[in-house]
Amino acid sequence: MKASLLPPRIEGVPTPRAADEHTLRMCFNEQDAIRASIALSRLTYREIAARMGCSKSLLNALAKGERQLTAKRTRAFCNATGTLLMMQYREMERALHIATGRVRERDRIASIIAPTEHAWGHAA
């Protein structure tokens, strides 16, 4: 019988589920959403990192707020933890920004460079 290099609970990853609305609203920032997702998964950092294909130290840095989840890693994180809380949090933040009229930084920069892009013929 061949020994597996993966921790025992790596197999059988459940389809990510949406978190309760109350849990979502209790998250004040992405770090809260990451920590809550990890707690909801009931997995170790090692198991989640193995499912994501990253190091345990990267996952630890994400939980401490020292690093940010990229869009690609966000999907992997949600799949690894079995919860969509992080994606739900980002969607809620996006909706709040729109509702309050706050503009995301990349949208603000895009509006600043739009006239020059248009003049240069780079408009999308």
Q: What average pLDDT score do residues 2-13 get? A: 54
Q: What b-and-e string marks burial along 42-57, b requiring 16 or more CB atoms within 10 Å of the CB?
A: ebebebbbbbbebeee
Measured distance between the N- and C-terminal CA atoms of the chain, rounded to whole angstroms? 56
All residues at 6 or more sequence positions from 32 whose CB lies less than 8 Å from its CB, including other chains: 26, 89
Confidence of residue 2 (pLDDT cuts 50, 70, 90): low
List, for residues 53-69, the tens digit of each pLDDT value: 999 999 999 999 999 99
Q: What is the pTM of this model?
A: 0.73
Nearest to 63 by CA among 82, 91, 44, 79: 44
Residue 2 CB neighbours (<10 A): 4
Decide which of 1.20.1250.20, 1.10.260.40, 1.25.40.10, 1.20.1090.10 is the CATH code for 21-120: 1.10.260.40
List, for residues 20-41, the tens digit of each pLDDT value: 999 999 999 999 999 999 999 9
